[in-house]
């Protein structure tokens, strides 16, 4: 078993019309044993920028703390919030810095940039960015997430339709992966509000 699969995870970010959604499962396991069913994989960096970390949970928490630290320094120096593109470059640089003993994480970054344009991106454990205009996925359920998102995604979805689409894609995908699941956690972010919802899924 790969070290990336040790705790199990499923992450997806999807773009809508001037909005985006980011969703994850809630299971924390040690291989096939479930440890917790309310694990938080998605973190808010600021009101328009969210970060999801799949992979090894201990590394994800360490990396998150480093990123919050760096973002707070940026806020003090620049007196503004970081743009999603800038934050993606920061995450990439921090991961690449540790390339010979990497953080075993696959981050998903989603945010609203200039003129409320949604930005989503994922990268591997050494910071090679993958930008997308529709959706990005990460975690042990990534293969089934690709299939579900590919078949369900439509362009210019409104926030409610986007929530429904990303939720159905997530729930359908984690049922096909025994290392992730136990419900879901979805954020839908528009220029004016952030909606957070908990999904109930199969508890097995």
User: Is 3-199 assigned to CATH 3.60.40.10?
Assistant: no
Contacts of residue 204, defined as CB under 8 A and 6 or more positions apart, other chains included, come to 181
The model scores a pTM over 0.95: no
What is the per-residue pLDDT across 145-157, written as a single tens digit (0 to 9) for each?
999 999 999 999 9
What is the per-residue pLDDT across 155-166, written as a single tens digit (0 to 9) for each?
999 999 999 999
Say how far apart CA 189 and CA 163 lie, in whole Å.
Answer: 10
Three-state DSSP state, 75: helix
pLDDT over 90 (residue 139): yes
What is the per-residue pLDDT across 68-88, written as a single tens digit (0 to 9) for each?
999 999 999 999 999 999 999
pLDDT over 90 (residue 9): yes
Residues in the chain: 204
Say how far apart CA 80 and CA 109 lie, in whole Å.
Answer: 19
């Amino acid at each position: 078993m790969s070290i990336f699969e040790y705790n199990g995870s499923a992450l997806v970010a999807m773009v809508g019309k001037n909005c985006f959604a980011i969703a994850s499962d809630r299971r924390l396991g040690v291989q096939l044993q479930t440890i917790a069913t309310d694990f938080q994989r998605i973190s808010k960096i600021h009101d328009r920028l969210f970060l999801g970390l799949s992979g090894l949970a201990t590394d994800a928490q360490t990396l998150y703390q480093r990123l919050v630290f760096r973002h707070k320094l940026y806020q003090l120096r620049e007196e503004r919030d970081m743009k999603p593109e800038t934050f993606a470059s920061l995450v990439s640089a921090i991961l690449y810095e540790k390339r010979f003993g990497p953080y075993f994480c696959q981050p998903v970054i989603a945010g609203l940039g200039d003129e409320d344009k949604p930005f989503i991106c994922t990268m591997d454990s050494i910071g090679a960015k993958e930008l997308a205009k529709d959706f990005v996925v990460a975690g042990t359920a990534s293969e089934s997430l690709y299939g579900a998102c590919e078949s369900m995604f439509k362009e210019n979805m409104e926030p409610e339709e986007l929530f429904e689409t990303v939720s159905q894609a997530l729930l359908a995908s984690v049922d096909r992966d025994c290392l992730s699941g136990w419900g879901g956690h979805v954020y839908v972010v528009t220029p004016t509000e952030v909606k957070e919802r908990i999904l109930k899924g199969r508890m097995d």
